[in-house]
Amino acid sequence: MKYAVALSFAALAVAAPGNWKDWTSEPVVETSTAPVPETTAPAPEPSTWVEWSTSAPPAPETSTVPPPAPETSAPPAPETSAPPAEPSTWVEWSSVPPAPETSAPPAPETSAPPAPETSAPPAEPSTWVEWSSVPPAPETSAPPAPETSAPPAPETSAPPAPETSAPPAPETSSAPAPSVATSSWAPWSSGAASSSVWVGSSIPVTTPAPSSAAWTSGSVSVPSGTPVEAASTTTSSSTWTYTGAADKNAIGAGAFALAGLALMLSLSLTATRAQSCDSVENGYQCEPEISHFWGQYSAFYSVPSEISADIPAGCEITFAQILSRHGARDPTSSKTAVYNETVIALKANVSSDAFVGKYAFLADYEYDLGADLLSLFGQQQLINSGIKFFNRYASLAADNTPFVRAGAQERVVESALNWTQGFHSARTAAGHADADYPYAVLEISEEDGQNNTLNHAVCTNFEDDDQYYSTINEYAQEEFAATFTPAIQARLEADLPGLQLTSLEVIYLMELCPFNTVADDNGTISPWCRLFSEEEWHSYNYYQSVNKYYGYGAGNPLGPTQGVGWTNELIARLTNQPVNDHTSTNTTLDSNPETFPLGLKLYADFSHDNDMVAIFYALGLYNNTPVLSNTTITEAEQAGGYSAAWTASFASRAYVEKMTCSPSYGGGHAGRGGHGSSWNAWNGGAKGSSASSSASQELVRVIVNDRVIPLVGCGADNLGRCTLDSFVESLSFARSGGRWSECFT
């Protein structure tokens, strides 16, 4: 199993004794931690090195190394203070000792070769340091268990009473206040602890190629190829756990390396990693003829738009809301188990002599993906997203800090924090002060039965596995799979004698393509992808589109209802009126201005693919999508812009904008975004009202993955916009609660 560390300000806590905690199911939750001023650390000396060696490291606070400890016990306490910087020197990590120093006993390092002092220029602030491609030996333990964070105590599973002018009492008397994560980091000491979560990947962590980094007491450089196995944190906690290192002496060095690197990455404007074809503006563009057809496992890419997504001339954005999926991750725990079993069976039943040509990689392939956690690639996606959001809405973002919420699952919270890192980096790079950073992130429990508009878990008839609504998508997928998997199965079994596959196992092998791709730091296309044709990838993408459509879209009678709560929260934010909803909203949170403030300019919510699809359908964004066939492909262009890859990719995001436009520009005429032939049951009570009829009114526009979605049922103009009043009126399905009453009958 491989683990990787998503580096942040919080990583500085790695080197602080007293700040380690076993990775258990009882995380530390901090609910009100404020950032600790960074006043105790000396200002960094640019381009300085401090000699680190086996004979003379910086003075540690202890001179002995504790004996190895099992995974379930607390790891050794690292050094507790940053080493003093030597003026005009670099930190040199090396197994070759320089001239002895007298300030401290040695702390040997054995895993990294010396880094020449002249070979590594300081890192450019707008780029990532390239992560080493030299992996450590794979571990043999089972894949990591799913996130074990314990969200606040559940709210009642029964639907709350309708909320009108006064909010009801909290759903349960024992429910604690939601936890708030921030990306703060504290002075380096045994008592300092950050309150953020920045770690969560199953990729092995290797320290990067030599590169300088501003640090609290100088600069640091670390050579490539130094493995650090299984570094991690607990959800909503600053504590770290280290497991699996053979040489405990490497821990101190590893901790310093990670801490210094974390600050380097956090303070630099990290646009994209070297040699990656994933960018801030356009997203993932490696071999788009196949990679843009991986369904919800596609990496975010800029979707073509028939209407320009640029801010129209003469218009000013007055409000922006982003709704985002988390970044690319490892498979879920259940999927990673079946993928591993499928690979083991393949290797056991097929002679290695058959592994030639495009199958040659299988000779050495071992399944080593983890479970549920973000990859480094996925974390970078969200940093890029934060940068892009700031750049797009710079006129607002310069002086307005977004209010951020996230479902309280580790990968979702980490994604939110990564996004704030990117936003902050872009803000400071643009020359603006950012005293609000690190930003608080409101975490909302994802426990079953908890009211949470960012995670469906309350509608009983929809959630229960034995109910009709929970199986509609499975039957639809099985029917479509029968149209394309048999041919793939026959080809693979012919090419690899001894292989025997089911239709579902064909799907598993296809999914090893995107998951191995996003497990690579740079998103390098996996050789698994070469085993299938472009046509087969189109079929796979549609297979997943059918899944989402019949699971959470119009194909499921209760699907769009799962997005009603968030839609009503959006209405409240757009109109500065209290939330009026009796479905999945958390009334305790939404009635409190601290946890649901109104009147702000920028909002950011982080969720999952399924919830976003339900929200899009509750908003009526895909009312022009025809009923999807279970036997023939309907491409996104013919499906009203709907497909799993176009709407629910890793790091997928939707923008909801309000804008005002000068009368000379007007709103445009009601055009292709007006009433469509398929505008349907979800918003049947709306009446069209051309945006051009009142150019002084605020207009609303929705953009999904850079594609303008022409609004339906509200008299949209030729730029896809409706007036605020007509847009809200068109959301009658959500305002009436959808089909919530059917959740419990």
Of 488, 512, 545, the residue at which a domain comes to its end is 545
Q: Same domain, yes or no, for 111 and 210?
A: yes
pLDDT number for residue 745:
87
pLDDT number for residue 713:
96
Q: Is residue 16 part of a domain?
A: yes
pLDDT number for residue 692:
45
What beta strand segments (E) does 81-183 contain? 90-92, 180-181
Q: Same domain, yes or no, for 215 and 68?
A: yes
Q: Which of 292, 326, 424, 456 is catalytic?
A: 326
Of 478, 513, 545, the residue at which a domain comes to its end is 545
| pTM for the model | 0.66
Q: How far apart are the first and last CA of the chain?
A: 45
Q: Is residue 467 part of a domain?
A: yes
pLDDT number for residue 466:
86
Spell 52-70 as b/e; 16+ CB within 10 A means b. bbbbbbbebeeeebeeeee
Give the separation between CA 731 and CA 661, rounded to whole angstroms.
Answer: 23
Name which residue leads in pLDDT, 513 or 127: 513
pLDDT in tens, 232-269: 333 333 323 323 333 333 333 333 343 344 434 444 43
Q: Mean pLDDT lowest for which of 218-222, 532-536, 642-646?
A: 218-222
Q: Is residue 166 part of a domain?
A: no
Containing 658, the helix (H) or strand (E) segment is strand 653-661
- Mean pLDDT calculated for residue range 448-474: 94
pLDDT band at 18 (very low <50, low <70, confident <90, very high): very low
- Mean pLDDT calculated for residue range 421-440: 98
Q: Same domain, yes or no, for 97 and 209?
A: yes
Q: Same domain, yes or no, for 123 and 217?
A: yes
pLDDT in tens, 644-681: 999 999 999 999 999 999 876 554 433 333 333 333 33
Q: Same domain, yes or no, for 263 and 337?
A: no
pLDDT number for residue 525:
98
Position 472 pLDDT exceeds 60: yes
Q: Same domain, yes or no, for 103 and 10?
A: yes
Position 126 pLDDT exceeds 80: no
Give the separation between CA 713 and CA 685, rounded to whole angstroms.
Answer: 9
Q: Is residue 153 part of a domain?
A: yes
- Mean pLDDT calculated for residue range 393-411: 98
**Locus of tokens 């509609």:** 472
Q: Pick from 193, 191, 213, 217: which is nearest to 258 by CA?
A: 213
Please, are residues 559 and 733 in contact by the beta-carbon 8 Å criterion? no
Indicate the number of domains in the chain: 2
Give the separation between CA 275 and CA 277, rounded to whole angstroms.
Answer: 7
Cα within 13 Å of Cα(483), Cβ side: 16
Q: Same domain, yes or no, for 195 and 87?
A: yes
Q: Is residue 493 part of a domain?
A: yes
* Secondary structure tally for the chain: helices H, strands E: 17, 19
Query: Which range in 65-69, 206-210, 740-744 is most confidently predicted, on average pLDDT?
Result: 740-744
Residue 326 among the catalytic residues: yes
User: Max Cα separation, the chain?
Assistant: 82
pLDDT band at 99 (very low <50, low <70, confident <90, very high): very low
Please, are residues 709 and 653 in contact by the beta-carbon 8 Å criterion? no
Q: Same domain, yes or no, for 234 and 337?
A: no
- Mean pLDDT calculated for residue range 142-151: 40
Domain encompassing residue 479: 333-373+461-545
Q: How far is CA 354 from CA 257, 340, 342, 499, in A?
A: 43, 20, 17, 11
Q: Is residue 98 part of a domain?
A: yes
Q: Same domain, yes or no, for 14 and 146?
A: yes
pLDDT in tens, 689-705: 444 444 467 999 999 99
Taking CA 676 as the corner, what is the angle to CA 675 and CA 681, rounded to the nearest 5 degrees?
85
Q: Is residue 18 part of a domain?
A: yes
Q: Mean pLDDT lowest for which of 396-400, 626-630, 691-695, 735-739?
A: 691-695
Q: Same domain, yes or no, for 86 and 215?
A: yes
Q: What is the 3-state secondary structure (H, E, C) of 362-390?
A: HHCCCCCCCCCCECHHHHHHHHHHHHHHH
pLDDT number for residue 159:
38
**Mean pLDDT estimate for the chain:** 73
Q: Is residue 207 part of a domain?
A: yes
Of 268, 290, 310, the residue at which a domain comes to its end is 268
Q: Pick from 256, 380, 266, 406: which is nearest to 325 by CA?
A: 406
Number of CB atoms found within 10 A of residue 635's CB:
13
Q: Pick from 584, 567, 539, 611: which is nearest to 730 by CA?
A: 567
- Mean pLDDT calculated for residue range 698-721: 98
Q: Same domain, yes or no, for 206 and 347?
A: no
Q: Same domain, yes or no, for 264 and 337?
A: no
pLDDT in tens, 166-178: 333 334 333 444 5
